Structure 1
């Protein structure tokens, strides 16, 4: 295993080495590390709900589920949350998963198989990419948000396959941009495809669902994947769609069948957090509007990418901000092609904190 050491050395030489930081404070706007406090601009806790805690949920349901859902790990609070998520997403039903990664990998590999075609956006999340690979379907990657390229691939290839799936993030996690869902709806209907949308970074940010922005309502060929661990502040994930889809996934989705169920107290806490979402979402929108106007970064979401010319420059900017009390880690290859700082704005940030962060970034640029 000596090759591991040499590979790590190579990663370090390329300024791509990563390490874990262990914070001493609970999740939230302020992080404490080695006695220092930092304003956190790296979290997906967009509504500031991750620190919410209902002791009653823990007392009522305990710390774990004890088994998979199909054995003895399925509780009434799971079902209550699924029904509420389906209502909010305007679908017939929903099914909880233990993580967002498992939801994407599971739903794609359960629905698509040999003899099928998947068309995937070039900037889709790693969990989508892995789900496509596990499905054993043929995969074509279309240029990012490029409907013309996607339709050309459909025209050329759709007729050779029994089933077809279009797969996309709604809000892309590293660029913060939005998929052209209206165009994707048109193409799925025109070519007889199923549209799978990862709504992880949209839920609770742009609305309850990204489809709201386009005046669209999900139908029986629409599958929505969402997470509980971002704006909703807890942990886990879900797939929302038709009742028939839910029934099929319970019987055929390996990442649902063969894993311990989401702890029921997490489902209980999520239901509590959902009550707070509308007010927090309105506050977040005001913060996002302020930061867009301040920076000129025209992101429709809570993710604001600040692109850097190299991994070294991204690391230097991240360290510069850390010295000034801001936590904004550098994002580098292979996570993204172009290094950057991924600035996450939350409902907890004040306008003054946003102004100070941007002022520090501009100060860094002037020192070079």
Structure 2
């Protein structure tokens, strides 16, 4: 196993080695790492809901006991699915244990040999892996480049049975938003299915990224979201037509062959949904303040601070740590250009945001 040690040493030499940081506090605006209290500017807990805990949810026990198709389908699962479908303006929704499993499962179920998938080059790793597992032809188009995508569709679509256009709505490392209005038009023109990963949009830009474009999902639209970010718990959901839900229940391997989400977690998610509207207003106010403060034109709670190289990212991250801020360095292969990914939450104060920028400039 010497090759493992050799590869790890190579990562260290390139400033690409990673290690786990252990929290001894609940998730939140302030966290404790190695006995040190830090202001957290790295979390996806955009609405500060991850630390919420309702004793009432404990009545469901600690586990679900089986997959949904065996005896793990609880009434509260279906209650949350109905609520999420309502919020996303779709006919139905289906819960998954994680966003990764939702993306991998849905893409590999809807596409196969003889099909083609058009994927934005900055899509999340779970989308990339779903495309690979599908065994479909995968065509990657330049980031948000609708003209190139249209050219590729006009050239390739006719050669394949089914066509999928897959994109993040809010991109997790850059914070920008996909041109969903134009993608929606293209999926109609070229008889395609549009799959949108709404993970970093739900509860941040609105209940759905489609609200930004005054769009209403239709039967060839699939919206994938997560409960583990702004909603503060765990799990994911796929929103679309009733026919799609029925198909996934019968064909999607990452739904069929896995234990269902614990009903206690589902119960907590339903409780957290009630808190979203007011906290989302505060978050959007903080986003606007930080945008004006930094000049970084992010459309979401994610603000990328691009640096020269991997070593510079590590040095700046350590400098902020020493000054009481937690903002980890993000390096390849997660991104092409190293950066600090600053994420704003509804709980941050203006003073804390100003102090962060002051520390960065020191």
| Interval of TM-score (by shorter of Structure 1 and Structure 2) | over 0.9
User: Can you list the C-alpha shifts for 1:241-270, whole angstroms capped at 9, x where unaligned?
Assistant: 000000000000000000000000011000
Residue number in structure 1 paired with 2:5: 5
SS at match of 2:64: coil
TM-score (norm 1): 0.98
Gaps of at least 5 residues in structure 1 are 364-368
TM-score (norm 2): 1.00
CA shift for structure 1 position 183:
0.4
SS at match of 1:132: helix
Residue number in structure 2 paired with 1:69: 68
Residue number in structure 2 paired with 1:141: 140
Residue number in structure 2 paired with 1:50: 50
Taking the TM superposition and a 5 Å limit, the aligned residue runs for 1:1-368 are: 1-58=1-58, 60-363=59-362
SS at match of 2:26: coil
CA shift for structure 1 position 34:
2.0
Runs of 4+ in 1 over 4 A off after TM superposition: none
User: Can you list the C-alpha shifts for 1:141-175, whole angstroms capped at 9, x where unaligned?
Assistant: 00000000100100110110111000000000000
Q: Distance in 1 between matches of 2:251 and 2:347?
A: 41
CA shift for structure 1 position 78:
0.2
Q: Distance in 2 between matches of 1:71 and 1:187?
A: 40
CA-based RMSD of the aligned residues comes to 0.4
SS at match of 2:225: strand
The 10-residue stretch of structure 1 (32-41 or 164-173) with the greater mean CA deviation from structure 2: 32-41
Gaps of at least 5 residues in structure 2 are none
CA shift for structure 1 position 235:
0.3
